[in-house]
Amino acid sequence: MTENNDFYFFGKMRSHDEKSDGAKVVEMQGGGGFSSTSSQFHPVGKMTLKATSPSYNWCWMTGDNFLASTCDSVTLYHRNERQMEEVTSFACESVPCDIARDYHGSVAAIALDNGAILKYCSGDNSLQLWSERLLPSSERLEKMSVVKVASEYLVLRLTNRHRLYLDDRELCGDIRSFVTHSDFLLATTLKHELKCLPLESLLEKETSRRWSAESVRAVERGSRLVTVVPGHSKTVLQMPRGNLEVIYPRALNVHLIKAHLTNSNYKTALGELRKHRINLNLIVDHDPVLFLENVDRFVEQVAEPTRLCLFIAELRYADGI
What is residue 122's predicted lDDT score, i.e. its pLDDT?
87
**pLDDT confidence tier of residue 36, bands split at 50, 70 and 90:** very low
Of residues 313 and 212, the one with the higher pLDDT is: 313
Asked if 143 and 135 count as a contact pair (C-beta separation under 8 A), the reply is no
What is residue 202's predicted lDDT score, i.e. its pLDDT?
84
SS3 label, residue 9: strand
Picking from 159, 112, 107, the residue whose alpha carbon sits closest to that of residue 131 is 112
Of residues 129 and 51, the one with the higher pLDDT is: 129
What is residue 211's predicted lDDT score, i.e. its pLDDT?
64
Q: Has residue 134 got a pLDDT over 70?
A: no
What is residue 34's predicted lDDT score, i.e. its pLDDT?
44
Q: How far apart are CA 199 and CA 251, in angstroms?
A: 12
| Share above pLDDT 90 across residues of the chain, in percent, rounded to a whole number | 38
Helix (H) or strand (E) holding 273, with range, is helix 266-275
pLDDT digits (tens, 9 = 90+) for 79-126: 877 777 888 889 888 889 999 999 888 999 999 888 889 999 988 888
Residue type, 307: R
284: CB partners within 8 A, 6+ apart: 291, 315, 320
Mean pLDDT, residues 155-164 taken together? 92
Mean pLDDT, residues 140-159 taken together? 90
Q: Has residue 233 got a pLDDT over 60?
A: yes
What is residue 180's predicted lDDT score, i.e. its pLDDT?
92
Q: Has residue 297 got a pLDDT over 90?
A: yes
274: CB partners within 8 A, 6+ apart: 280
The strand ranges marked E within 190-255 are 193-198, 215-218, 224-228, 235-238, 244-247
Asked if 177 and 195 count as a contact pair (C-beta separation under 8 A), the reply is no
Mean pLDDT, residues 46-55 taken together? 66
Of residues 178 and 17, the one with the higher pLDDT is: 178
Q: Has residue 53 got a pLDDT over 60?
A: yes
Asked if 211 and 172 count as a contact pair (C-beta separation under 8 A), the reply is yes
Give, to the nearest 10 degrees, the angle between helix 295-302 and helix 305-314: 130
What is residue 28's predicted lDDT score, i.e. its pLDDT?
47
What is residue 138's predicted lDDT score, i.e. its pLDDT?
76
What is residue 103's predicted lDDT score, i.e. its pLDDT?
85
What is residue 262's predicted lDDT score, i.e. its pLDDT?
94
What is residue 5's predicted lDDT score, i.e. its pLDDT?
63
Mean pLDDT, residues 155-176 taken together? 90
Q: How far apart are CA 220 and CA 237, in angstroms?
A: 10
Q: Has residue 261 got a pLDDT over 70?
A: yes
CA end-to-end span of the chain: 48
| Share above pLDDT 70 across residues of the chain, in percent, rounded to a whole number | 79
Q: How far apart are CA 219 and CA 205, in angstroms?
A: 28
DSSP structure class, residue 16: T
What is residue 56's predicted lDDT score, i.e. its pLDDT?
83
Average pLDDT, the chain: 82
Of 41-45, 109-113, 166-170, 220-224, minimum mean pLDDT range: 41-45
Regarding pTM above 0.85, the answer is: no
Q: Has residue 44 got a pLDDT over 90?
A: no
Mean pLDDT, residues 9-15 taken together? 58
